[in-house]
Amino acid sequence: MQTERRIAKCAVLAALVLLGGACTKIDAVRSDGKQTQEAVMAAASAAEVSTTAETTTTTVTTTVTTTTAAGICQPFIDENANIDPSKPMVALTFDDGPGQYTNSILDTLEAYQAHASFFVVGQNINDETSAVMQRAVGLGCEIGSHTENHADLVKADANTFQQEIQQADDRILQAIGRYPYFLRPPYGDFNDDVRRHVGKPLAFWSVDTKDWKTRNTASTVSATLNNIEDGDVVLMHDIYGETAAAVAQIVPSLVQQGYQLVTLSELTYYRGVEMENGMIVFNMHPANPNYKLPPDPDVPEPQVTPAPETETTTETVAAAGQ
């Protein structure tokens, strides 16, 4: 049932994308089969009516009939990986790439048939790093969004917010042929407004290696192996050589301990949690998973008299460097 609901959601999303929509619009579509069918039929009817606009008609028809559109916004799950839901699993995640050390990390993952999730910054994607991303996906890894320019979404105005998400989505789609399913907000900074409008589940973590701060291989290894437990989400960064060296020790050690190294999508899926736009996942501990449901929908803002500018202060607490 979960798979059918995801496919139905993404099929409607594909029609919206080519009609000027984006992945952020998926939360406007309910997941029951009846409404999905009605939405697709409505798009098809619109294509028939638009006989005078040849280009538009062709685009809509392609969207409705394509056999690959339903997969462009699905979770990153390798169904051939023989993941056992009853056995321990953890998700290694990497931010801020793709970078010069990403391939080294992929070498280690490939050697142990392990998966990981990479939250990429859109501006880092080019022909060379696109090839690295394609290799990652080919190995069963996940590509998530870390925005276009590593922007603090809480502080962004409406236009910047939209551009940071959409531009990164477009670059990722061009690089690997599918949209990112999760977004990790830069600096770990978020609020309910971000959650309502981001159009994706949000990826957080339960083990912070602080590799961005220490730049020390031994410290990163210790922070991971001394704190790991079933269902954890580990935060690292694939732009540091010290981290790549740490991964070369972390991965074989975790495998030897019996952990399955999975994508974040696989972790939530095999722990029986269906993610929704605006949800936050911290970990999937078997006995006490830590995730948050989406916030309440938008409500009208109360009419208040703004305080004088000199008396207005704003303070945002963020996890620097994430």
Catalytic residue, from 189, 211, 237, 238: name it. Answer: 237
Phi-psi region of 188 (alpha: psi -120 to 50; beta: other; left: phi over 0): left
Q: Is 208 a catalytic residue?
A: no
How does DSSP classify residue 219? H
CA distance from start to end of the chain: 35
Structure tokens at 172: 């990722």
CB 93 within 8 A of CB 235: yes
Q: CA 125, CA 136: separation in Å to the nearest integer?
A: 14
Structure tokens at 110: 């490939």
How does DSSP classify residue 69? G
CB proximity list for 99: less than 8 A, separation 6 or greater:
124, 129, 238, 239
Structure tokens at 219: 């410290």
Catalytic residue, from 27, 78, 95, 232: name it. Answer: 95
CB 153 within 8 A of CB 168: no
Structure tokens at 7: 């496919």
Structure tokens at 195: 């959650």
Q: CA 69, CA 102: separation in Å to the nearest integer?
A: 28
Q: Is 189 a catalytic residue?
A: no
Which amino acids are annotated catalytic? Answer: 95, 237
